[in-house]
């Protein structure tokens, strides 16, 4: 208990404790799984019971790996700030009166997804404001950043020019102006705190102060950049106290105001090393320059806290040296928690693209099974995006999909104007996907969602493409034989190696997905294209069950047509075989002519014979010619389809949350946003 007490003990004054009791409740801390958010949440939750921690994945973050006695799991709330529907649902359920938004993306060097930087730091703030307006809110305090000043970094006042020097800074500037607009024009009770270099308990493991303390406890220094590089270091409990003060003051008196949260002291890396030497009793001096400077590191980066003292009645109380000692004490007590902390990695999203036709009964079950399959993946940083593509089903597939979209912000629905086929449905969903990897599935539950973790495991081990390999299938014997025969014939005829017994079900990484999207051909055969792009591929065996509902729409004739489509799309060998047959028949005819010519003189016929032979040869040659023409016709027909360049599909509607996009411009914008997000994330 003493160790737990030390983990969550803070340096708040009696005045701040009294202020906490005056905050209108319930209280919602957004971005609570991060460093500053977690510290603020634990400090508030230790004093009040109506405090909630909201995060995209609250249950998998190391700061919540072991909850203190005063926190209930019911206080952890899942919230995707970038999804308006998710924000609206949380606001309607909790109806928070005081909200602290500490969510951010892009502050760390590893966070370089440009699209997500703007989505989280600007669009997320807009979603939060709109959601809170609907339910009423008495205070929204938003975590801004000293990065907003950018190049104008030497003790700027809040009225100084903002010169952002990164995407993160630009997004934070945009958010501060957004809140300034809503505060001043709409009297929305909000404020922005421009935080300088906050440090202390629960900070990310790869940041300067945790590395400094960790090395100091071991009797050394971490790699350090240029000694003149400076910061304005603010101890975390001073920073969290400022949020409490802002909620009770400027949110009401000066809505939309931005205030610096700084000490006003310029602390260089040389000063940091000197303090560490004294705190940890280090015998030697540090070596500078062993760590590279980041592109936004500056030599005169410190703040002006005058307005904070004037408007909030706040000033930093903890000196840097004392803050180092407090952090070191916490690090010692937190050793078991920190050992359980995983190495910081980027969260990854897997897009599930599900082609649906007459699958209205299976779709809800498919959704539940996918969500359940991702439960063990969440601790590894995985989240899902589910895209249901309704290929103009005559059943109520679209209605069922719309219900799931309203329920889960991670679900997207696409409806086609007519039935274009499953291959076009997969491609349509692929264009709209934003995941780091994509899984193709049929909507009839014949592709088991429970196999998804195995596909992801193979991807993590280095495979670019992971295909499901059907080692067994529940189907009539003649269909099993037909499928086996097709894959072997297809593999033998194709111009590239084709995996046997591998359907569309499988996973491809984003690199392979982007290459697939570059293909302009109209008549696509996905499993063939997947093999054609190459990269490292591996199969995962599984048993393919029968449809759970209804009957298959694929008859034997349709499957024969499907086989012909695949073979003609990926092989010109049939043309070579026709040529070989023609040459063979020519030489057989020549040999037969010589034989009959010689035989005529050796054994002259007494009567006219051979009419049967003539008839059979005529019919046989005619059949061969017709088959040859049909093969040629198939190839020519495919050329015709490609030359006409018709669209591969037409989207009639896109469903996202409660929104239904039907206008062509709106649908195009949605797809462009998805493409832009992917470009920003993977550039």
| CA-wise closest residue to 499 among 451, 458, 534 | 534
What is the band of 263 on the pLDDT scale with cuts at 50, 70, 90? very high
CB count in 10 Å sphere of residue 243: 28
- Residue 578 vs residue 416, higher pLDDT: 416
pLDDT in tens, 510-525: 888 888 888 877 777 7
Count CA atoms within 13 Å of residue 187 on its CB side.
2
pLDDT in tens, 580-607: 666 676 666 666 666 666 766 777 666 6
What is the band of 227 on the pLDDT scale with cuts at 50, 70, 90? confident
The per-residue pLDDT for 237 is 95
The per-residue pLDDT for 2 is 44
| CA-wise closest residue to 261 among 320, 231, 321, 304 | 304
Once rounded to an integer, what is the mean pLDDT over residues 463-483?
68
pTM value surpassing 0.75: no
Once rounded to an integer, what is the mean pLDDT over residues 232-249?
95
Q: Does residue 97 surpass a pLDDT of 90?
A: yes
* Most trustworthy range by pLDDT among 146-150, 193-197, 548-552, 598-602: 193-197
The span from the CA of 632 to the CA of 510, in Å, is: 37
The span from the CA of 613 to the CA of 10, in Å, is: 103
The per-residue pLDDT for 491 is 58
DSSP secondary structure of 63-91 = GGSS--TT--GGGEEE--TT-HHHHHHHH
| CA-wise closest residue to 337 among 56, 40, 110, 38 | 38
Query: Does domain 348-571+651-682 bear CATH number 3.40.120.10?
Result: no
Once rounded to an integer, what is the mean pLDDT over residues 654-678?
83
DSSP state of 120: I
With tokens 């009964």, the residue in question is 361
The alpha-helical segments, DSSP class H, found in 473-603 are 477-493, 510-518, 526-532, 556-570, 573-602
Q: Could you tell me if 417 and 650 are in contact, meaning their C-beta atoms sit under 8 angstroms apart? A: yes
82-86, 314-318, 399-403, 545-549: segment of lowest average pLDDT = 545-549
The per-residue pLDDT for 409 is 78
| CA-wise closest residue to 387 among 356, 406, 412 | 412
Query: Does domain 2-203+232-264+303-317 bear CATH number 3.50.7.10?
Result: no
DSSP state of 675: H
Once rounded to an integer, what is the mean pLDDT over residues 21-26?
93
| CA-wise closest residue to 51 among 80, 81, 82, 20 | 20
What is the band of 105 on the pLDDT scale with cuts at 50, 70, 90? confident
The per-residue pLDDT for 646 is 74
Q: Could you tell me the residue ranges of all domains in the chain?
A: 2-203+232-264+303-317, 348-571+651-682, 573-644
What is the band of 681 on the pLDDT scale with cuts at 50, 70, 90? low
Once rounded to an integer, what is the mean pLDDT over residues 49-63?
82
Indicate the average pLDDT of the chain. Answer: 81
């Amino acid at each position: 208990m003493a160790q737990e007490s030390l983990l969550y003990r803070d340096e708040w004054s009696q005045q701040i404790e009294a202020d906490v009791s005056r905050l209108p409740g319930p209280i919602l801390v957004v971005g609570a799984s991060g460093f500053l958010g977690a510290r603020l949440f634990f400090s508030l939750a230790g004093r009040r019971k109506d405090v909630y921690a909201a995060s995209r994945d609250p249950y998998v973050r190391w700061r919540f790996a072991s909850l203190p006695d005063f926190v209930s799991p019911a206080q952890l709330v899942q919230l995707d700030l970038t999804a308006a529907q998710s924000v609206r649902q949380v606001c309607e359920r909790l109806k928070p009166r005081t909200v602290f938004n500490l969510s951010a993306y892009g502050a760390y060097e590893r966070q370089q997804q440009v699209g997500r930087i703007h989505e989280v730091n600007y669009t997320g703030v807009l979603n939060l404001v709109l959601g809170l307006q609907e339910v009423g809110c008495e205070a929204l305090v938003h975590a801004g950043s000293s990065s907003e000043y950018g190049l104008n970094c030497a003790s700027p006042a809040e009225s100084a020019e903002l010169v952002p020097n990164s995407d993160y800074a630009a997004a934070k500037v945009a958010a501060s102006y957004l809140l300034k607009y809503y505060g001043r024009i709409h009297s929305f009770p909000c404020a922005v705190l421009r935080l300088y270099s906050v440090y202390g308990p629960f900070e990310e493991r790869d940041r300067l102060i945790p590395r400094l303390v960790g090395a100091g406890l071991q009797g050394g220094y971490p790699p350090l950049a240029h000694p003149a590089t400076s910061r304005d270091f603010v101890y975390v409990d001073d920073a969290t106290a400022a949020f409490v003060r802002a909620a009770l003051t400027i949110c009401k008196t000066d809505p939309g105001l931005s205030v610096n949260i700084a000490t006003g002291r310029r602390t260089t890396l040389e000063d940091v090393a000197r303090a560490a030497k004294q705190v940890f009793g280090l015998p030697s001096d540090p070596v500078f320059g062993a760590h590279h400077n980041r592109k936004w590191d500056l030599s005169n980066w410190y703040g002006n806290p005058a307005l904070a003292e004037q408007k909030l009645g706040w000033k930093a109380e903890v000196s840097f040296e004392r803050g180092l000692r407090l952090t070191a004490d916490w690090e010692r007590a937190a050793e078991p928690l920190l050992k359980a902390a995983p190495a910081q990695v980027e969260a990854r999203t897997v897009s599930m693209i599900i082609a649906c036709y007459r699958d209205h009964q299976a779709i809800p079950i498919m959704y539940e099974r996918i969500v359940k399959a991702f439960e063990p993946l969440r601790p590894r940083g995985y989240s899902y995006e589910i895209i249901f593509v309704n290929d103009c089903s005559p059943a109520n597939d679209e209605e069922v999909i719309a219900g799931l979209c309203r329920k889960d912000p991670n679900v997207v629905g696409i409806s086609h104007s007519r039935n274009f086929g499953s291959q076009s449905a997969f491609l349509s969903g692929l264009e709209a996907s934003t995941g780091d990897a994509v899984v193709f599935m049929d909507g009839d539950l014949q592709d088991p969602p429970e196999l998804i973790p195995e596909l992801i495991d193979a991807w993590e081990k280095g495979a670019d493409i992971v295909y499901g390999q059907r080692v067994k299938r529940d189907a009539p014997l003649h269909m099993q034989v037909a499928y086996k025969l097709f894959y072997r014939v297809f593999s033998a005829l194709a111009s590239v190696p084709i995996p046997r017994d591998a359907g569309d079900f499988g996973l491809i990484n984003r690199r392979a997905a982007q290459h697939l999207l570059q293909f302009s051909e109209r008549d696509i055969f996905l499993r063939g294209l997947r093999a054609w792009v190459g990269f490292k591929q591996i199969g995962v065996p599984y048993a393919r069950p029968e449809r759970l509902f209804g009957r298959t729409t694929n008859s034997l004739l349709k499957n024969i047509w499907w086989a012909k489509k695949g073979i003609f799309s990926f092989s010109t060998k049939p043309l070579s075989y026709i040529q070989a047959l023609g040459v063979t028949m020519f030489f057989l005819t020549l040999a037969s002519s010589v034989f009959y010519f010689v035989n005529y003189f050796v054994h002259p016929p007494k009567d006219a014979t051979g009419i049967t032979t003539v008839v059979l040869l005529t019919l046989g040659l005619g059949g061969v010619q017709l088959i040859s023409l049909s093969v040629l016709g198939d190839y020519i027909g495919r050329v015709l389809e490609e030359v006409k360049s018709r669209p591969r599909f037409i989207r009639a509607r896109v469903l996202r949350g409660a929104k239904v996009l039907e206008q062509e411009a709106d649908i195009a914008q949605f797809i462009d946003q998805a493409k832009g997000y992917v470009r920003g994330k993977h550039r």
